[in-house]
Amino acid sequence: MTDKDDTTAHIDAAAAILNLPITPERKENVAAFVNVARQMAARVEESGAGRTTEAAPVFRPREQS
């Protein structure tokens, strides 16, 4: 499969699972944005911010007043 096929398959599956109205006429444009996100994700994964790095948001339970 090509990257293009992968993205299309991803969009079709996500649309079905999440009930997203990604109609055929919208699919090409949505795929373009998903592909940008893929490139961005690849860059982030190169950073090596792995399991030892805690994700930024920290939940702090609020004291009972």
Q: Does 8 bind other proteins (CB under 8 A)?
A: no
How far apart (Å, rounded) are the C-alpha atoms in residues 30 and 18?
15
CB-hemisphere CA count at 13 Å for 64?
0
Region 11-30 residues binding other proteins, contact defined as CB under 8 A: 11, 14-15, 18-22, 26, 29-30
Size of the site for other proteins (CB under 8 A): 35
Give which of 5, 46, 13 is closest to 22, Cα–Cα. Answer: 13
Contact residues: other proteins, CB under 8 A: 10-11, 14-15, 18-22, 26, 29-34, 36-37, 39-41, 43-47, 49-50, 53-57, 60, 62
